Amino acid sequence: MAQHDRRLEVAAAAWRVIVREGLERASMRAIAQEMSCTTGVVMHYFRNKEELILFALHQVTARLQAAIEAVPVPAAGAERLIQMLIVFLPVDESRQHILRVWVAFLGYAVGQDTLMLQHQQSAAQLRDLMLQELMNLQATGLLRTHIDPAIEANALLALVNGVSLDSLIQINRLSLEQQEGIIRRYVNGLLLNTETAQ
């Protein structure tokens, strides 16, 4: 097995431990046990826990970015932007795991400048995709004239992150249909003609 594939396998084991037990318990030993191998095998691919956790974070970004870029381009309207935002919602088990790993890393990174910088850089990559889509909509005359795409890129990500977090912490959580409805209503409010987003 190629070294990169093996690193992905180790990272996948780390994900499972983080999702199941939290990041604090995702030790090199726990990950090795998850893989039924020795700690030495894990450390062959990752020198320490921080390096492994950063790799796992980059996988979160890579998976989200790939899903966003895979959203098809419709003939017109803001449906692609809506579908790009829905990528962030915990619509299935895979997305739920992505959310849990992301939240775990954020909590772990608080107070650690180097780790927080990595988190900010990952978030910036995803923001750039939203910004570009908003600029495309503005170029075609679909956005309201006062809309600032740079501000709205942040606002949209804050919205989907908040809706996603709500699904983790609320007992009476919103259904996936309700979550999507919130996204659609906000995007519709950015458009000159809300019917274009239907």
For residues 44 and 48, give the distance between their C-alpha atoms in angstroms, rounded to a whole number.
10
pTM (2 decimals)?
Answer: 0.83
Are residues 71 and 128 located together in one domain of the fold?
A: yes
Question: Which pLDDT tens digit goes with each residue over 188-198?
Answer: 999 986 444 44
Please report, for the domain that includes residue 75, its CATH number: 1.10.357.10
Q: For 160-197, how does the pLDDT look when each residue is reduced to its tens digit (9 = 90+)? A: 999 999 998 998 999 999 999 999 999 999 998 644 44
Residue-wise pLDDT tens digits, 48-95 = 888 877 887 888 888 899 999 899 877 568 999 999 999 999 988 888
Range of 62's domain?
A: 54-197
Whether 96 and 38 share a structural domain? no
The model's confidence at residue 1, banded by pLDDT at 50, 70 and 90, is: low
Residues 1 and 65 in one domain: no
Q: What is the mean pLDDT of residues 18-44?
A: 87
What are the residues whose beta carbons fall under 8 Å from the beta carbon of 181, sequence distance 6 or more? none
The β-bridge partners of 191 are 143
Cα–Cα distances in angstroms (integers) from residue 66 to residues 1, 96, 108, 156, 182, in the given order:
24, 16, 25, 19, 23
Q: Are 87 and 182 part of one and the same domain?
A: yes
113 and 146 co-located in one domain:
yes
Average pLDDT over residues 124-133: 94
Residue 19 sits in the same domain as residue 84: no
